[in-house]
Amino acid sequence: MIPVPMLLGCLLLLYLSEFLVWVRPDAWLFRRRGRGWEALTQGGLLSSSRGSLHWVYPMPQLGRAYLVRLSIPAAPSMGSITGRPPVDASFSVPDIERRLQSVESALQPLRWTSWGLWVLLWLVCPLLLQWLGLQPMLGALISGALILMTTNAWILARIHGRLFFESGDERLRLVLSACLSPLAAIRSWDLSQKQALEGFHPLAVAAALPNFRGWEDLAAAEWRRSRYPVIPPLSVGSPITADESSSAEVRGAIETLARQRGIEPASWDTPPKAADPTNTQYCPRCRAQFTGQARACHDCRRTALSPIPQ
């Protein structure tokens, strides 16, 4: 027979694995950090060209995270719904706040099943095991989990279908995993909200989340990525393409958002101070500094380095 501590240890590891989130390279992960929120685009526990693995707090509600893909321009449907151009609609902070509130309040019923299963698994079962032994504990666990999991799956399918009608595959995956495992059922309250802010620009989402950390650094980096693309234009003076025009619109929207937050975006493009006296050039995209011999920034594949004023 497997010793009880080993069984509980395995259960704890399985539980913690539910709180890992895989993030594709084209998406930003918004997760709770302390009393506020933070955004992650790379790094994490594991990282490859296909994406990166990140953790969230291992508790219902605190483990909530939003995945937002960086798509330019935003989904056209959003523009047509609000009657505004797609870029303006994707940068609307009040719309994001309304969306967050409506999704959160619609999914409130899942809070009770999620916390119910959490209390059953981590409080009731250990106490029953201590006082009454393994058999009564297993009886209470199986009957309690079955009732809560069935209720959870039914509520999840109904509300998710109403909120995210077009995400049928995601709904099926969520409901199936919540039916098969009580650990996944605990997570389904938070995971069902993962796509809630899809279609909005990540920087606008960051501006809408309370106590967000490091907005200006992210905004400046994103602004520079858009201003200095990886592949420089082949010929100066060529007609403006649709991509360049939408990038300019996005930069304009980022600048407007920055000014609303009391930040002056003009400083994002000023040359840096030399970190070392031998550094005479820098990459305008990533701000890495180079000596006079360098011909390109290999990280950004940019051949056009800018001089650092001495």
Contacting positions for Zn ion (CB under 5 A): 283, 285-286, 288, 297, 299-300
Q: Which is nearer to Zn ion, 128 or 297 (CB)?
A: 297
Tokens of 79: 């523009």
d(CA 127, CA 113): 20
Amino acid identity, position 254: I
Q: Which is nearer to Zn ion, 217 or 240 (CB)?
A: 217
The residue type at 140: A
Taking the complex as a whole, the smallest distance from the CB of residue 286 to Zn ion amounts, in Å, to 3
Residue closer to Zn ion by CB (options 23, 305) is 305
Q: Which helix (H) or strand (E) holds 75?
A: none
Q: Secondary structure of the chain: what % helix, strand, coil (to 5)?
A: 50, 15, 35
Other residues' Cβ atoms within 10 Å of the Cβ of residue 283: 21
CB of 189 to Zn ion, least distance (A): 41
Q: Least distance to Zn ion from the beta carbon of 292, Å? A: 17
Q: Which amino acid is at 183?
A: L
- Would you say how long the chain is, in residues? 310
Which one, 129 or 283, has the nearer CB to Zn ion? 283
Query: What is d(CA 181, CA 131) in angstroms, rounded to the nearest whole number?
Result: 26
Angle in degrees, 0-180, between the axes of helices 182-191 and 134-163, rounded to the nearest 10: 30
Nearest distance in Å: CB 285, Zn ion = 5
Least distance in angstroms from the C-beta of 59 to Zn ion: 39
Separation of alpha carbons 40 and 49, rounded Å: 15
Residue carrying the six token digits 């069902």: 192
Instruction: Enumerate the H helices of the chain as residue ranges.
Output: 4-17, 76-82, 86-90, 93-106, 109-119, 125-131, 134-163, 168-180, 182-191, 202-208, 215-227, 242-260
Shortest Å, Cβ 169 to Zn ion = 38
Tokens of 195: 């796509």
**To the nearest whole angstrom, how small is the minimum distance from the Cβ of residue 298 to Zn ion?**
8
Which CB atom, from 31 or from 285, has the smaller least distance to Zn ion? 285
Nearer to Zn ion, 67 or 297 (CB): 297
Shortest approach of Zn ion to residue 37 CB, angstroms? 28
Q: Is the Cβ of residue 254 or residue 283 nearer to Zn ion in the bound state?
A: 283
Nearer to Zn ion, 176 or 275 (CB): 275
Q: Are 37 and 30 in contact (CB under 8 A)?
A: yes
